[in-house]
Structure 1
Amino acid sequence: MATPPARTPDYRTAAKTIDHSLLRPELTLQEVADGCALAARYDVASVCVRPADVPLAVEALAGTDVAVGSVIAFPHGSTLTSVKVAEARALVEAGATELDMVVNIGWLRSGLVDRVRDEIAAVVAAADGHLVKVILENAYLDHDQKVAAYRAVEEAGADYVKTSTGFAPGGATLEDVALMRATVSERVKVKCAGGVRTLDALLEMREAGADRSGATATAAILDEYERRFGR
């Protein structure tokens, strides 16, 4: 068994970096329940489930230290602001404590940054103190659009900037995570998603500045940690 490098987190810290993703549209309810059981077994930070699955996840994870999260305007971000606000309220009422919202990507690419900021602020208000993570879908944005978006997220009062949905042509990159971390203040945390499938990828993203990583390969990642470094 290897000794972890000096900057490698301990097992629990590594596990609490992961939001276990259960968002694929074809998942059965049994597969969602099994995914929640896996998340509890590995004691990750949260599950991120489809909106209709929030009550199931809340029941499955009662009494654990795993939060229940869900998504707003996923994966395209183009619903009306009023619908995003209604989704946020409904998800909180159903028991979700973490909300991952997709921004209106077309607005961002059109230069309507103030409109994007105001929409995020409306969702933050509707979330009523629960965590809001804002998905920018970096694969569709140029450098200046990314920086403007990250700043808008912070101005709107959200808790996290997030790289991607995992359903676009590209996912998380180390460069984007580093740019996010360099752009927002320490108050705002960074989440990466899309392509984090190995322990090495998880650790590299964390080193670049990610506080959370969305993952479907949770078991493989944490089993590899235990094989290398123990618990």
Structure 2
Amino acid sequence: MDLNQYIDHTLLAAGASAAEIEKLCHEAVKYKFYAVCVNSSRVKYAKKVFSNSEVKLAATIGFPLGGSSTESKIIEAGTAVRDGADEIDMVMNIGLFKDKNFEAVQAEIEAIKKEIGDNILKVIIETCYLSDEEIEIASRLSMNAGADFVKTSTGFGSRGASLNDVKIMKKVVGDKVKIKASGGIRDAETVRKYISLGVERIGTSSGIKIIS
């Protein structure tokens, strides 16, 4: 099993410098990771570093809290795609979700998917703030809204992914939507456990350690 092709090589720290982003991109090419994941303001720079690489470029939207307006998320997502992003990792509006305003949550996801067209959309539901039942509901909303992936975590919440989160998500989405696990995944054994549950992408800043 080639673990490198499951990995989104990630750098989302607030203080990540251009030099660090460049290093991330070069590492992704060297180790043949599936994608890199950066904050949206770094997409244009990362795309320049990549030029002719097969590595995909993912950008975070509404990150890490998910609480920005739908309008601002749409603009951020559209800009990221025009700047060269292949994939968008958006944070669901967790406050609206907790209000049980599920219609608005789904409408936001649909609007962002419409904005980015054929580009891949991953919806981060931030499982650390959700009950098991809420994880089910959020996964279903993401699926119904046309998301390509449902994703566990930002890595900036009170905890990252868990195997239980993924089991719940998989039960809901089956093979209709892919699953990305992220947050706190730092070794190959853990990655294999997630893959065995049906996870198709792993978000981690420990990619080199994992494949080594």
Q: Please indicate, yes or no, whether the TM-score normalized by the shorter chain is above 0.5.
A: yes
Amino acid paired to 2:205: T
Q: Residue 185 of structure 1: CA displacement?
A: 3.4
Q: Where does the alignment leave 5 or more consecutive residues of structure 1 unmatched? A: 1-8, 224-231
The corresponding residue for 1:48 is 37
* Aligned pairs, number: 212
Matches of 2:100 and 2:131, distance apart in 1: 12
**Per-residue Cα deviation, 1:105-154 (whole angstroms, up to 9, x for no partner):** 01111111111111100000001110000000000011221111110001
Q: How far apart are residue 179 of structure 1 and its match?
A: 1.1
- Partner letter of residue 137 of structure 1? E
Whose radius of gyration is greater, 1 or 2? 1
Question: Are positions 1:71 and 2:60 aligned together?
Answer: yes
What's the secondary structure of 1:16's corresponding residue?
helix
3-state DSSP class of the match of 2:154?
coil
The match for 1:113 is 102
| Correspondence for 1:151 among 140, 147, 168 | 140
Could you give the per-residue CA deviations for residues 27-48 of structure 1, whole angstroms, max 9, x where no partner exists? 1110110011001101111000
Task: Tell me, in whole angstroms, the C-alpha distance in 1 between the residues paired with 2:33 and 2:152.
Answer: 20
2:177 match: 188
Structure 2: state its 5+ residue gaps.
Answer: none
- Rounded to whole Å, the distance in 2 between the matches of 1:159 and 1:57 is 23
CA distance in 2, matches of 1:170, 1:56: 30
Fraction of identical pairs, as percent:
34
- The 2-side partners of 1:207 and 1:178 are apart by 10
* Alignment equivalent of 2:153, drawn from 122, 139, 164: 164
Q: How does the TM-score come out when normalised to structure 2? A: 0.98
TM-score (norm 1): 0.90
State whether structure 2 residue 169 is matched by structure 1 residue 177.
no
Distance 2:15 2:7 in 1: 22
C-alpha contact (below 8 Å) 2:132/2:165 kept by paired residues:
no
- The residue type equivalent to 1:96 in the other structure is A
Q: CA deviation at 1:192?
A: 0.5
User: Residue 204 of structure 1 is aligned with which of 190, 193, 197?
Assistant: 193
Cα deviations by residue, 1:146-171 (Å, 9 ceiling, x for unpaired): 11111000110010000000000110
CA deviation profile, 1:74-125 (whole Å, cap 9, x unmatched): 0000011011111111011101010000011011111111111111000000
1:94 matched to 2:83:
yes
In structure 2, the partner of 1:22 is 11
- For residue 5 of structure 1, what is the aligned residue in structure 2? none
- For 1:165, what is the secondary structure of its paired residue? coil
Instruction: Indicate the residue corresponding to 1:6 in structure 2.
Output: none
Q: Which moved more, 1:164-173 or 1:103-112?
A: 103-112
CA deviation digits over 1:54-77, x for unaligned, max 9? 011111112221001101000000
Q: Which amino acid aligns with 2:43?
A: V
